[in-house]
């Protein structure tokens, strides 16, 4: 288990506005698991050919994806965007 946390960037209201509650719950579940990975989070998701930077991860069987930024210096995973195709 890691000491990493997660947060929305810029804010929860901005990122989750208009999303169904089930999608928000799934995003928060996934990001909690990503934070538990700690520094390994820089290797999760796309792009697969390099580490760090803005990453993407499919949610709910490819019906959407999240964009997240793992910041080792802050020990935090920031959710930057959620794209939901419905």
Taking the alpha carbons at both ends of the chain, their separation in whole angstroms is: 33
**In terms of residue numbers, what domain contains 33?**
5-84
Predicted local confidence at residue 33, as pLDDT: 95
Report the distance separating Cα 62 and Cα 41, nearest Å.
Answer: 20
Count how many domains the chain has.
1
Question: Which band of pLDDT confidence, cut at 50, 70 and 90, is reported for residue 1?
Answer: low
28 alpha-carbon distance from chain centroid = 8
Predicted local confidence at residue 42, as pLDDT: 94
- The pLDDT tens digits of the residues spanning 20-74 come to 999 999 999 999 999 999 999 999 999 988 998 999 999 998 899 999 999 999 9
Residue 30: which CATH number?
Answer: 3.30.2310
Predicted local confidence at residue 49, as pLDDT: 87
Please state the pTM of the whole predicted model. Answer: 0.90
């Amino acid at each position: 288990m890691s000491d990493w946390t997660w947060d929305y960037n810029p804010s929860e209201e901005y990122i989750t506005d208009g999303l169904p509650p089930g999608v928000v719950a799934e995003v928060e579940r996934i990001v909690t698991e990503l934070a538990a990975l700690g520094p390994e989070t820089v290797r999760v998701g796309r792009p697969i050919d390099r580490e760090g930077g803005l990453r993407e991860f499919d949610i709910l069987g490819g019906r959407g994806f999240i964009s997240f930024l793992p910041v080792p210096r802050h020990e935090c995973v920031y959710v930057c965007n959620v794209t939901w195709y419905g």
